[in-house]
Chain A
Amino acid sequence: MSWIIGALLFWAAMWLLNVQLSKRPQTRALSLLVPLIFGVTLLVLWEGMVRGFQISPILLPPPSAISVRFANSLPILWVDFVQTFVKGAMSGYIIGCGSAFLMAIAVNRSPFLQRGLLPVGNFVAALPIVGMAPILVMWFGFDWQSKAAVVVVMVFFPMLVNTVEGLKASDHMQRDLMQTYGASYWQGLMKLSLPAAMPFIFNGLKICSTLALIGAIVAEFFGSPIKGMGFRISTEVGRLSLDMVWAEITVAALAGSAFYGVVALIEKRVTFWHPSQRG
Chain B
Amino acid sequence: MRSFAPVLTVVGAIMVIWYGAAVALNSSWAYDKAKRADVTLSFSEMVADTMAQKKPLLPAPHQVVAEIYKTTVLKKITSKRSLIWHGWVTLSATLLGFAMGTGFGILLAVGIVHSRAMDMSVMPWVITSQTIPILAVAPMIIVVLNAVGISGLLPKAFISMYLSFFPVVVGMVKGLRSPDAMQMDQMRTWSATQSTMLWKLRLPSSMPYLFPSLKIAMAASLVGAIVGELPTGAVAGLGARLLAGSYYGQTIQIWSALISAAVLAATLVALIGLIQNITLKRMGMLR
Contacts and interface: CB of A to CB of B under 8 A. Distances in A.
Nearest to B136: A217
B144 A242 contact: yes
A58 B147 contact: yes
A234 interface: yes
Interface residues of A, number: 60
Interface stretch (A90-98, A172-180, A249-257): A249-257
B265 A221 contact: no
A253 B134 CA distance: 9
B246 A134 contact: yes
Given A18-B121, A116-B3, A253-B132, A134 B9 contact: no
A225 B230 CA distance: 19
B199 interface: no
A245 B242 CA distance: 24
Interface stretch (A31-39, A163-171, A182-190, A191-199): A31-39
Given A18-B117, A138-B251, A35 B242 contact: no
A21 B216 CA distance: 35
Interface residues of B, number: 61
Nearest to B121: A38
A278 interface: no
Contacts of B123: 35
Q: Tell me what chain A mostly uses at the interface: helix, strand, loop, or mixed.
A: helix
A117 interface: yes
B245 A233 contact: no
B287 interface: no
B140 A237 contact: yes
B46 interface: no
A34 B117 contact: yes
A18 B117 CA distance: 6
B266 A123 contact: yes
11 contacts: A23-B116, A35-B120, A112-B6, A115-B3, A119-B3, A128-B222, A134-B243, A139-B57, A217-B133, A234-B139, A242-B140
